[in-house]
Amino acid sequence: MTPVITIKTPFTTEAAEKLRIGQRVLLNGKIYTGRDAAHKKLVELLENGEELPIELKDQIIYYVGPSPAKPDNVIGSAGPTTSGRMDIYAPKLMAQGLKGMIGKGKRTPEVIKAMKQTKAVYFAAVGGAAALISKRIKSCKIVAYPELGPEAIRELEVEDFPVIVVNDSLGGDLYEEGLKIYGAK
Amino acid sequence: MCQEANYILGQDVIDAFKNAYETEQSVTGKDILQQLIENAQIAKNESVPMCQDTGFSVFFIEMGQDVHIEGGSLEDAINDGVRKGYQEGYLRKSIVGHPLERQNTGDNTPAVIHIRVVPGDKLKITIAPKGGGSENMSAIKMLKPAQGVEGVKDFVVETVKEAGPNPCPPIIVGVGIGGTFEKAALLAKEALLRPVGEPSSDSYAADLEQELLELVNKLGIGPQGLGGKTTALAVHVNTHPAHIASLPVAVNINCHASRHKEIEF
């Protein structure tokens, strides 16, 4: 198995360019959360020429809608949601400097192309390992759209948050590679 | 019930993870299966949801025809239970009140309720919380009878292939063959209620389940779609008589968090 790479946010172009598909990464530092409802609002602001509630340059967005936190817990269960629903919005955010996305499932060719152009990376977290993943989240605060409930934008502080590089800045795709290796010939 | 279904993964699924761990060739795939076993333990020990998507609350009710319910409607009682269970159990509220206006109802109601009247004086309630990610990758097709079993196999394999990494593999595949358009979909969903890997009592369906499982696992999608031999933990097939002109096939995909809880009064 490939060695694990540790990355501290902010996630710069330089760090993103070094990553390759299949690499296991432990993320540390601040990341944001957002699902389709929040993405829609962000893109509407951009289209109207308005300022975003969060700065996207060198940031990572985790596609997640956590379950409510129990008393004494930082956050509820927090596994990735299907990334494809964010595909129509993602290139517009990458154009603003967004460097990383965490989710699960396939991205469209347009998103993969935008990643290549802007030197961004798409990571997968283990879908459904939500109780396990939440242990790596050390703090959580809502920074925009509280009215969206589980879909609000949160700022998370993560420690050794485990992800795998699925699409790198060269246009590589781990899902395609996996099929080539393990699919019946 | 809502809480237990979301906190405690059935032993059938855990055993299936362990079996898959032994046979999976991909190192990453093995690592993921190990994480899923660990995740289930944490969820159970700490009474937290195994997955943040605590699902649409889908109920299957078998109501004895001699049962008489007093003091209000059964459906209201179920929705009251969902409201209370999701609120007090820190479960995510994932339902919007209108499919296009999309305002969250805030309490995970209304539930989807299927009621069947059966002989006897018992009331059996099964809850099967269903996540959106895997539901979105499900499909139904009205085949021509001439396409036969080969057509069914192609459609099932094609649906799983198209789903790829999206429904959180390893998945459980529910297949409904026959009946009408809506009956096939219901058969597929009911097939998911069976303990994982328990073969159909019908030998034709049981053989087809085995063959489909092998075909699906040859795709190479693997745990989380990152490549491997464990794409599905099981394929369950339910059939129903069909119209002379029709061969409906529904494929309902469930993520590995195959949750259900039963209670009988």
* Averaged pLDDT, groups of 10, chain B, 265 residues long: 92 96 94 95 95 96 94 94 95 94 93 97 96 96 98 98 96 98 98 95 98 97 95 98 98 94 91
Return mean pLDDT, chain A: 95
* Residue from the list B51, B106, B220 with its beta carbon closest to the beta carbon of A179: B220
For chain A, the DSSP string reads -PPEEEEESS--HHHHHH--TT-EEEEEEEEEE--HHHHHHHHHHHHTTPPPSS--TT-EEE---PPPPPTT-S-S--PPPBGGGGTTTHHHHHTTT--EEEEBS---HHHHHHHHHHT-EEEE--TT-HHHHHTTEEEEEEEE-GGGGGGSEEEEEEEEEEEEEEE-TT--BHHHHHHHHHS--
- How far off is chain A from B97, nearest CA to CA, in Å? 14
Give the mean pLDDT of A46-72: 95
B57 and A79 Cβ atoms separated by less than 8 Å: no
| B91 in Cβ contact with B117 (< 8 Å) | no
Are A76 and B49 inside 8 Å of each other by CB? Answer: yes
Touching A: B residues 181-240, CB under 8 Å: 218-222, 224-229
Chain B residues in contact with A164 by the CB 8 A cut-off are 28, 226
The answer to whether the beta carbons of residues A174 and A113 sit under 8 Å apart is no
Identify the pLDDT of residue A115.
97
Q: What is the pLDDT of residue B111?
A: 97
Chain A residue numbers touching B5 (CB-CB < 8 A): none
Q: What is the pLDDT of residue A184?
A: 77
Domains of chain A, start order:
5-182 (3.20.130.10)
Q: Check if the beta carbon of residue B91 is closer than 8 Å to that of residue B146.
A: no
pLDDT beyond 60 at A12: yes
Catalytic annotation, residues of A: 39
Distance CA B257, CA B9 (A): 7
Chain A residues whose CB is inside 8 A of the B218 CB are 183-184
Nearest to B220 among A77, A128, A178 (CB): A178
B-chain residues near A181 (CB < 8 A): 26, 220, 227
Contact between A130 and B52 using a beta-carbon 8 Å cutoff: yes
**A61-81 pLDDT per residue, tens:** 999 999 999 998 999 999 999
Going by their DSSP bridges, the two strands A100-103 and A60-62 should be labelled as parallel
* Domain regions of chain B by residue span: 132-257
Task: Closest CB to A184: pick one of B54, B106, B220.
Answer: B220
What tens digit of pLDDT does each residue of A85-106 get? 999 999 999 999 999 999 999 9
User: Best mutation site among B7, B226, B229, B231 for testing chain A: the one with the most A CBs within 10 Å?
Assistant: B226
Is the pLDDT score of A185 beyond 60?
A: no
State both tokens at A138. Answer: 């050390």
- A105's tokens: 């499932």
Q: What is the pLDDT of residue A1?
A: 56
pLDDT of residue A3: 76
Name the minimum distance, in Å, from the CA of B180 to any CA of chain A: 31
- Terminal-residue alpha carbon distance, chain B: 13
Name which of A140, A131, A154 is nearest A34 in CA terms: A154
Contact B147, B92 (CB under 8 A): no
Q: Confirm if B111 and B84 have CB atoms less than 8 A apart.
A: no
Per DSSP, the residues of A11-57 read --HHHHHH--TT-EEEEEEEEEE--HHHHHHHHHHHHTTPPPSS--T
State whether B92 and A150 contact (CB < 8 Å): yes
Q: Stretch A43-65: mean pLDDT, rounded? A: 96
b/e A78-116 (16+ beta carbons within 10 angstroms → b): bbbbbbbbbbebbbebbeeebbbbbbbbbbeeebbebbe
Q: Which of A62, A64, A81, A132 to mutate to test the interface with B (most CBs of B within 10 A)?
A: A132
